Structure 1
Amino acid sequence: MRLKNLTIKGFKSFADETVIHFNESVTGIVGPNGSGKSNIVDAIRWVLGEQKGRELRLEQMSDVIFNGTKKRKEAPLASVSLNFENTRNLLPTEYQNIEIARLLYRSGDSEYRLNGVTCRLKDITGLFLDTGIGPDSYAIIALNMVEDLLSNKESARRKMFEQAAGISKYKARKRETLNKLKSTKEDLARIEDLLFEINTNLVELEKQAKRTRKFNELKEKYKSAGLLAQFLSVKTLKEKLEVLETSVQEEMLKLQDEEVGLNSIEASIEAQKKAQLDQEKNLSEFQKKVNEVLDTIRQLESNIQISQQKKQFQSTQLETIRQNLSQAAGRLDQLKLDVAAIQSEQAQVELGLMEADQAVVNHEEIFNGKQAEFNLLKSGVDQFQLDKQENETAIYELEKELAIQHNRIENLHADSKRCEEEIESKFNEHQNKENQHKELSVKLKDVLSEIDQVKVAEENRLLGLEQVQIELEACTQKVSTIHRQRDAKQNEFELLKSMVEKMEGFPESIKFLNQNWRKDVPVLSDIIYTPEKYRSAIELYLENYLNYYVAHTEEDAVKAIRLLFNNSKGKANFFILDKFRDSKAVERSIPGCIPALSIMEVTDMYKPLVHDLLKDVYILENDNHLEDVIHFPDDVSVISVSGSILKANKIITGGSVGLFEGKKLGRKKNLEKLEAEIKELESQAILNEKELAELKNKIRTFELNNRQKELEQLRKKESEELQQLAQIQTHLSHYLDLKADLERRIAANKMQAAEIAQELNSKEQRIVELKDRQQQLVHSLHSSDEVYNRVSIELSEITGIYNQAKLELLKWQNRFENINKDLDYKNKQIEELQTQTINDELKQTELIESLGELETSLTQYESELLEVLEFRKNMDSNLTTLERDYYEARNRISEDEAKAKQHQRSIHELQSAINGIKDQKAEYKFRIQSAYEKAELEFMAKLDEFVASEEDEGLDLEALISKSQYYKTRIDNYGEVNPLALEAYEEMKARLDKITEQRDDILKAQDSLLETIKEIEETATQGFMQAFNQVRVHFQVVFRSLFTDDDDCDLVLVDENDPLECDIDIIAKPKGKRPKSISQLSGGEKTLTAIALLFSLYLLKPAPFCIFDEVDAPLDDINIEKFNLIIRKFSKESQFIIITHNKLTMADVDVLYGVYMEDQGVSSVTAVDFRKYSHEIVLEEMAN
């Protein structure tokens, strides 16, 4: 492999592109200090991938870019490229020529290239791995590196030995393998930590799984006892249901008779409603017809407007066409007069042409006769006659050309005149088209503005319509919701009112007193009202007092008791209101509870009673904290908010909450609230129905204002006007193009005429010269022969006359041709005007017919509009009548519905009786359903599928319930159980097994990596020791060749047990010296020792090229000779590039490159080949 050339640009002091060729074995580089010699070495290091700024004598890498001088600007980038020839296939690539390049931009971006293709630094270092080439290889040595090598700074010796031994790739592989081993160990540590954590969690999960199994066994026992208890309970309830079913059937027969009467009234109402629907349908259809009439009116109005606009536009067009016809007629008459004048002139010219032609024939006969006579005398005429004829011919040709060019000038002027006339003739038409264009543009702008207005109005209408439709839908939904709420509230009100009136749920004694005693004495449940959330709790606490009457005095209570006694109606309890005194209860702060009095609504007269009943009573807000009641004081009563538990007077009561619990409190108060809510809902319904009607009217208004058809008509008009505008624009553009062409033609004619006139001047001058020469020739002939002269003169005169006659004929021919052109041009203009006139007349006829049709259409549209307006007036009257009939029928239906409601109240009493039985049935069914649901939800089983043995059916239900409750208590007290413990335990166990398997795989991988490291070390050690032993032998040979055979030297491994990592010592003892270390040697001896070591490495593995940067500086002349000799010897295998100041070294190189600075701060290079000089001559010249 050979280094071909180095290209530098913008690198350090090399501002301009510099190419250094390395075509020879030894290349020298010289130059004064500071000229930039070492920058060449830095460039080679840099392009090979050097990353340390210190090695390149830089503070930062961007300093490699040329920084500029006083005269030169700074460079935008630094670029260096090296070109190699891969002759021995040393590089692992199929290319014969290889170029590497490195670029650095001022922005900080950098780029590496391989054969012009962008690549990575890794690709370049990989390409040169173990080839002896690199930024820190032994192929590039500077003087300071000699000291580093000898002092083994930063293991410099070992790096060179490893490069020469070719074990760099093994070291790299070992580093990669060690990194992998480190990563593997880290993964192993993480897995061990994970296994430890999983094992710890697995022990806990195993305990939880065992606890979960025991819990599941308890649940199964609870399920068995609970299912049997539910089964027996359902069986008992079903027997009770059969008894109630018989009672319901008897009451239903009585109710059917009452419902027959109600059905007849409802049938009548239904018939009226159906009739009303037909009325509403007829009204809607009539409204649609009215809307259609309105659409017809708008369409007719739009048609009238459009027809009027068309009429105005076509009238304008007709006027324009008439003006064009008038102008065309005048222009046509003028053209005809011009044609007549040209034809008259043509006849005269034709006559002149015939006369000129006849004159040419006559003069030709004379000329031929005289020419024959002249030819007889010609035999005696010498060269003068020949010259004279040639001169005459030249004069004739020039005069002929003059005549032609004069005629050309006249033709050009005539053509320019025709062009100007055509421009003038087209100008008026262009003006008319421009006026039409302006008018159409204004009209189009108006149409577009009107379209925008209509479009905005239509968009606003659609937006408004959409918004109103949304509001209508929302309002309709709201009205429907209010009606449903009102109906629900009404039914609830009627049912509650019936219950209040019949005192349902109260004893017979209370019902008797309600009917036969004072109406102003309420029971306790009627005077208390509380939010629904707390009713079950308050009812549970006051359950024993809810049926008590609240009498004002003891006398009132005694009277009621006597009434019951006399009628044998049982007993009743009474609160004596005047016995209770108002007192302030002291509220306590109990966590999670609120005082019961704080949520009570009661009138002032009953407050003392309520205060006495509910003092020291608190409500527990959260049912999830029922266990907290055991910690509350014994002198307070606590109820859960749902009523599931009550603690009072050292007694705790509780359990499940029934479906109908909380329904007895505040019935009358609730009835009043329901009545108020119904009135409020009816008021809202009226307001919303009114709003609904307004929204429907708005929608009708929006639909009536539909301008979509008007918008379509305007867009059609816009399209027509755009089409006309485009036609006029095309005509205008055509005129401008024609005018430009004609003006260019006139300018070209003027230019050409000027050129011809200039040629005419030169030709006329030439004719004058030729005529002067002709006179001289004639004079010469006269002196030779008088006869010849006379004939010659006569011939000359005849020739002149003959030529003049031909010129005159040519003029007449040109004039005749120009007249024909003018005639053709005028006839063409006449044809165009006639064609345009015919087209305008046709268009005029069409416009007149169209205007007539428009006038007829306008009359028809106006007539139709009047008829439709009259028809609309009649329809509006009929619409008012239909609406009045519709609302009258609606009022009649409302009256019948009121009668139906009255009839419903009459049968409500029977329904109440049935409802009482049904309530009991519902309660039993609810309990049965609850049992089924509890079985499904709590035990995940169906009671229908449960089969009990005869022995089980004989068990005591209460004992079963107690047993079930025992298991339930054990389950509740069992504590927290992880239901997923079993599944989690199995999953974690599987995960443990999997991770253990992964750990085993990682351990195998770790063993494999250790084995790989061992193999790499063995291979690298073997290669290194083999290379070291060879270099050691080479070093002794080279060292003694540079010093003497008696000198002692050696290379020694500091630790032979670790050859890959230990240091390498150099032993160098020149004859007569016993230095303890190399540092005690002189500068020259150190340099020779380093050179001996380098060339020992070259003998083992020659580098393709070697660079020495002033390495020979410490050497004297004798050692320089040795240095040059060894370089010349090794140059057969490697190229050498030597930077030197030594004249002997300069003389010994093949090619010398001189580095200099012509401009301060900018390095340049020049080359000199010294091989044609002998060694001594070079030294002498250098000495002189």
Structure 2
Amino acid sequence: MFLSKLEILGFKSFANKTTINFNRGITGIVGPNGCGKTNIVDAIRWVLGEQKTTTLRMDKMENVIFNGTRQKKPMGMAEVSMTIVNDRNILPTEYSEVTITRRIFRSGESEYLLNKNICRLKDITNLFMDTGIGTNAYSVIELKMIEVILSSKTEERRRLFEEAAGVNKYKLRRRLSLKKLDEVKADLTRVNDIVSEVEKTVRSLERQAKKADQYTQIQSVLKEKEMELSEREFALFHRKKSEFKNEIAELLQSKDSIDNEIRNIELELINLRSKINEVDSELQKKRNELAKNSEELFNSQKNISVSEERLKSLKSNHTRIEQEINDFNSQLEDNQSSIDESKIEIEKLKTLLLQKENEINAFNEETEIKRNDLEFFRTELKKSNEEKFELIKLLNDKENLISNLKKEVENNQANIEKLNAKILNTTNSIAKTVGYIDNLVIEKEEAEKKLRENNLQINLREKEKAELEETISKLKSQELDKRTFIAGLKEKINFLQTLISNLEGISKGARVLLENNEWTKKNKNIFADLGDTQEQFRFALEAALKSVLNNLLIDNIEDLQNAISYLKNNDLGKASFYLLKNKNSKKSFLDSIISFSTKRKIKKISSDKNFVGWAKDFVETESKFKPFFEQILNKIAVVKNLESAISLSKMFDDFSFTTLEGDLVQSNGIVEAGSLPKEDETLFGRKQLLENLKKEFPNHEHELEKLVSEINSLELKLSEIDLRKLTEHEKLISNDIANIEKQISQLEFEKKKADEEIENAQNEIQELASKTKVIEAQLEEIDIEYQKLITTKNEIELNVQEKENHLKIFEEEFNHKTTEHNQRKIELERIKGQIINLENGINRSLQNIDTINSGVEKRKNDLIKNEEETNSILEILDETKYKLDEITLTRNKLIEEEKIISDELSKIKSEAQKFENQLNELRNQRQIVSDKIYSLELKENEINFKIENIIQHIKENYNAEIELKEFDDLDTFNFEEVAQEVQRSKEKIKNLGPVNLLAYSEYEEEKQRLEFLLKQRNDLIDSEKDLIKTINEINDTAQKLFMDTFEMIRQNFIKIFQTLFNPGDEADLMLEENVDPLEAKIEIMAKPKGKRPTTIELLSGGEKTLTATALLFAIYLVKPSPFCVLDEVDAPLDDANIDRFTKLIKEFSSNTQFIIVTHNKRTMEAAETMYGVTMQEEGISKLVGVRFEEIPEYNEPQ
């Protein structure tokens, strides 16, 4: 099998597709620095699945893609394919040629292909496992790996050996098996926990199932009794409801009858009020007619008075005219005789006339004043009468208004009384409703209090449950940790027991002597079993005592000789011994020769800051063995770290120093250091450690039992916390609260409705009272005005009477003055006439008679006119008097009619008041009936509520519909006894506590689950045993395979090392003792002739390279890799060593294909095929190849 072809595209500097064909033998790859030679090696690593970007000299994987140059763009993908010819069927596949491909894209996506089929990296890793090919195998070696292989860190070195031994697959199997074992243990722990829980659950469900059966029986009886009780209550409530409905119907009928009567009376009242209005209107009309009649009467009386006065005047004139006629006649008779006398008389008369004229003028002024006063008083009287009539009219209006307002006040007061009665009734109803509400609120508060207490209990229980669950969880976690710890402790004890029983870590010779009793019958002890130390110093003492731990203690020379003879005779190797007598003598001798200088050194070492103590002081042993430990550990100090140990060793070269991590710097210059050993790998105090662990084990088991007991106790306590009962109780209380709230809501609605009615009534009362108050205020104002008007009327009437009296006096005085004035005028005229007559009588004596006759005629005419006027006035006066009589009769008639109408109005009002009283009484009766109806409706609603509760209760509790049935025993049925039976059944159910009705099915399910889990647990236990057995088998197989391979590589390494160096040079491979070979360190010892380096790190670069090459080819002799890539490994070698190097490569090239990247010409000479790598185009690698076998032989010219 060999690498036949490598195809590179877009990988690093190989932008173009490059195919490299490899042949068997040696292939050299050459070229200047930076041309991309190592990129070929990286390509091989990368296609084999390398994941470390540092190994590929990159910071991230996408950078392996060609990044472009000035002339060429970057590529989006890199691809490498490697073809291997599988002609010896080393690879586990039927194909004779295997091609693996790896691609990566700039997006970060990558893929692997096996023979052009998509596969996983794991598939490629498994394909090359234990073949020597792989990213961690020895198929690719570069110069820096030489340092790694030869460094003090042995991990890389181990990988080479494991790859050669083919134990990787075993280690992988062991790792997977251990992982599987851990998973099985974890699963087993979980299953055990689950089984424990399920067992408890099954037991609990079994109890619950029995309780559920008991609950079902009680519930059946409860349902039967409660249905029986509910059906009869349902029927009884329906009967009561029917009775209430009948009573309500009768009351409604009665109310309708009362309403009809009220309507009839209201109609009568409306008619009466209409009549009252009509009569009142007629009365008002009569009063207006009466006022008009009074005015006509006044006018007629006034006209009569004026006419009578005029008649008096005419009568007086008539008398005067007659007198004048008589006088004229006398004058006619005496005219002649009195002419003379007349002249004398004229003189007298003239004097008298002058006097009379003066008197008349003065009298005229007085009369004019009287006339004016009379006219004024007449006008004032007329005004007063008009004012009086207006006032009477106004008084009538006020009386009507007062009457109407008083009537309105009475109506308002009646309505207020009705509304107050309604408010009183409604208030009583509200008081009852409020009482119901208060009771319900108290019930609700009590229920809410119970609910809060219940919720508090739930919260407390939930908190207690949460705390218990948290405590249980913590305890279970502790239990799991404790079980894991005990399992680990048990495993550790078994492991230590196995180590001690098998004498693991003890040298072959010592083990044989310990196991065999033929050489002695005494107890046999090795030094490792004689003492112990604290854990922190175990590694330090292990390192300090490492050289003597396998030594057997012998107390006499005879036993020592017997032991040595037994080993020699049976060819069983060698063993180390400690002779007790010698030890004691040595100890005594050493104590005697300790010098002052040594004590100073001890003092200085003890004062160092990194000094921990002297090793001998940390040993715990019997007093008889203490001297031996003191002797061995006399000059060994324990320090904190290796740096301090090395530093102190240089200063105090006759002392040895060990560290807490198990590193040792001996006084002879040997340094033992490396990784921290495992606790179980130590020999010193192993038996004591086992004993201590065995002593601790029961304590831990006891602690586990305590934890389990505490968990069981808490789980029992947790199971006793029953939240379901509290939750159901909460639900019942919540339902009660909801029902109470529903009732409260209904009652509050009714109360609100009643409050609104009261508010409306109060508003109406307030409005009526306000109106009444306004009306009463108006009445007071009107009454005041009315009284004022009465007073004014009386004053006006008194004023009118006074004015009439004054007028009468003034008229009498005026008439008297007028009469007197007329008389004076007449007398004046008479005097004038006498004078004229006397003056003219003298001149017209004869004509005077004619004049007197004419005067007589004139007077007669005046008398006729006077009589005519008198007759006319008498006629008018008679007519006016007649009219006055008619007006008086009419007035009397109107007064009578007014009284009749007023009496009729009073009668109608009285009748209306009777109807009002009847109406009020009927309304009171209707209110009583309404209250009874309301009370019955409340009872009916209560019954409906109870019926609804029964229906809801039966539906919620039994999912059934209750039907109305007829029962003959409703009146005799003992409801209380059945209710008590129901209550007793409920108490039984309550005493049962929470019941899981699904317990039957859950019990069966959990039981099946338990059986399944028990089966699973048994399977897991079997799996655990099988895995432990498999791990042991893998360990045995891998250890044997590794040790066999190691021994072969060791022999090969020694031979090849002497070939590469000189025959006398020393080299060897050593495994760390007393450690699992699969985990032990591999030490390389290389000592070229003439040199004695303490470590291989002190070798030169060329010596390191040859040593590593020797190791590599030693591995190839055991398990050759199909191909080997060497990247400038020969760089440190000189020409002589190069020849040895190439010679060795040529020897191995028959079995292994070598691909060497080199700059060395001698190495190039060894190559059969040569590839040159150049960069004709900047940044792009190009390959040029030549096979030397194809070049014709060159003959020098003769």
- Per the TM superposition, whether the score is higher than 0.5 is no
Normalising by structure 2, we get a TM-score of: 0.42
User: Whose radius of gyration is greater, 1 or 2?
Assistant: 2
Normalising by structure 1, we get a TM-score of: 0.42
